[in-house]
Amino acid sequence: MIKFIQKHRNIYLRIFDIIIIAVSYYLAEIIIGDSLILTPEMNRKVLISIVLAVIIYGGFLQIFKTYKNITRYENGNDYLIYVLACLISCTVMVFFNVLNIIQTVDERTNLIASLIIVTAIIGYRVFLRLILNDWHEVKQKNNNNNKKNVLIIGAGEATKILLSTIKNSMKDVYHVVGLIDDNTNKVNYAISGKRILGTRYDIPRLCKENNVDLIFFSISNISNEDRKNILEICQETGCRVRILPGTKELIKNKPIMQSFRNVEIEDLLGREPIKLDNKNIKKLINNKVVLVTGGGGSIGSELCRQIIKFNPSKLVIVDIYENNLYDIEQELKFNYPNNEIDAIVASVRDKKRLNEIFEEFKPYLVFHAAAHKHVPLMETSPLEAIKNNVFGTYNVVNCADEYKVKRFILISTDKAVNPTNIMGATKRLCELIIQAKNKVSETQYAAVRFGNVLGSNGSVVPLFKKQIANGGPVTVTHKDITRFFMTIPEAVSLVLQAMSYAEGGEIFVLDMGEPVKIYDMAVKLIKLSGLEPGVDIQIKITGLRPGEKLYEEILMAEEGLTETKHDKIHVAKPSDINMTKIKEKLTVLRKLVDTNDNENKDEIKKVIHEVVPTYKGKN
């Protein structure tokens, strides 16, 4: 029966509307005349009015395309159209009566009839919508028992959009059991028919009681600390968690159901957004030539993305790996078509090629991010670390001096502090090189030292995600191993800020927050994927790798730490090393490199220890 009505709904709607118009005029006249019995003359006027009203009301309802609406999906805007159509129709009916064109009922009767008509037309359509929606819901429940039970966190505009999307097009996929909001005044109230069941502290209980499969996190205006707290509660439920973007992004970007993303470890850091002094940064970069080595890498490419926002006259990107270089070049040219960007394939080991580049572009600022950074690989091939990190840096440092670069920033690492591996030792020597060079050059040299960045090439988080996607096991080298973590955009924004503070010779140390246990990170990633550690995904302890230590440090014992204008940036006390000592060290390393004997690791480590006394590599 319902299917038959749906098929011929336009005919039935028109018939119902005609009946409503006819009854409304009789009711209006009875109300005005205060009598159930109408005189023959009044009957004649009412009948004429009904015929005319059917034509006029029906015509305007047709003009406004109300009969093309799908009743089940009508909303407030559609009902306003009905009001407008009836208002215009009433005005036309009054116009006919005032001009005495046709003998119809008077203005008051027309007005009351119009009020009855618009109320009845909207009222029965709302009633039909409710019936059709209930029927559709029962039908879906009978036909599909595989719907996911969903709990939505948030009771704002984004949730309203989400509920509308699920209701209109995804009822057969998701069943919303209810909403969560920390505003206790909202509890037990409803949005689009879905009740607010409780606050964040009720999430575990509600998930268990309602067999929740999926949690949608739908709050855009929230502090990072609160986001972290709520997500940590969610991860204990065993449900998969998806995060929605803010309302603005939903409106201007892709549809809401395509905008979901998985929870990332970044969401669990709980740090507030970093505030920058963009005026000073812009003053240094705007309309200047900026060169970035290693510009195709994780840090280098993000440096390029943030630098170009400050409108350099030219951005020169140097990298030996052409694929990454091509990717960042195309990305920036697409997003900033009016900026000059030069992508150059070159190695920092090639002093002659670097001279050509510096001669051609004469950069004002240089960010040196090119380096070998993988600890175990550099333990296997230590001479490559020396060639690339030490002598590559020395080449770029000398070019910066020769071509009068204003400021040179070295990207360093916490692994340079009391290094236990070759990579860290080479980066420590790079720090010493720029501090020594700063004493004899007009160029201002500085280094920025920070820990691991989330999502960088070769970092632990992408590896864990891949292992989880493959069904495990997730490999952790030691249950107690900890690392400092920061997002790539966070780290790079602080590099730019430190660059604006540099006067020469500083090693800037970034505040990386609290150290994070890698094992705990693996557990969280597994849980946030809706899986159970040790049940669905195993965690395998593999043992510390060569050169790896349990705890990273952010400054050396002999270094003092002073504050800067930014609470996330500190300055380590400069070393007293000079270029004479550096050249002596480099001469020793050059002889080592010339042997090209990667197999004699004991001898290499011995020499590295002579050059970098804080190196604690095991022989």
For the annotated catalytic residues, the residue numbers are 415
CB 53 within 8 A of CB 21: yes
Query: CB-based contacts of 344: which residues, under 8 Å, 6+ apart?
Result: 316, 317, 318, 319, 325, 357
Dihedral, CA atoms, 192, 197, 198, 199, nearest 10 degrees?
A: -50
**Could you give the CA distance from residue 509 to residue 43 in angstroms, rounded to a whole number?**
93
Which residues partner with 516 through β-bridges?
A: 483
Among 468, 379, 460, CA closest to 419:
379
Residue type at 181 in one-letter notation: D
CB 484 within 8 A of CB 554: yes
CB 547 within 8 A of CB 420: yes
Among 322, 360, 323, CA closest to 340:
360
CB 114 within 8 A of CB 50: no
Query: CB-based contacts of 540: which residues, under 8 Å, 6+ apart?
Result: 473, 474, 475, 476
Query: CB-based contacts of 48: which residues, under 8 Å, 6+ apart?
Result: 102, 103, 104
Q: Of all helices (H) and strands (E), which one includes residue 540? A: strand 539-541
DSSP characters over 85-142:
HHHHHHHHHHHHHHTTSS----HHHHHHHHHHHHHHHHHHHHHHHHHHHHHHHHHHHH
**Residue 458 region by backbone torsions, left for phi larger than 0, else alpha for psi between -120 and 50, else beta:** left
**Residue 14 region by backbone torsions, left for phi larger than 0, else alpha for psi between -120 and 50, else beta:** alpha
Query: CB-based contacts of 317: which residues, under 8 Å, 6+ apart?
Result: 292, 295, 296, 300, 304, 325, 328, 329, 341, 342, 343, 344
For the chain, the straight-line distance linking the first and the last C-alpha, in angstroms and rounded, comes to: 86
CB 314 within 8 A of CB 338: no
**How far from 227 is each of 243, 270, 518, CA to CA, in Å?**
11, 7, 21
Q: What is the 3-state composition of the chain as percent helix, strand, coil, each rounded to the nearest 5?
A: 55, 15, 30
- Vertex 350 angle, CA 349 and 356, to 5°: 140
**Could you give the CA distance from residue 174 to residue 166 in angstroms, rounded to a whole number?**
7
**Could you give the CA distance from residue 173 to residue 69 in angstroms, rounded to a whole number?**
25
| Rg of the chain, C-alpha, whole Å | 36
Which residues partner with 412 through β-bridges?
A: 449
Query: How many other CB atoms are there within 10 angstroms of residue 34's CB atom?
Result: 6
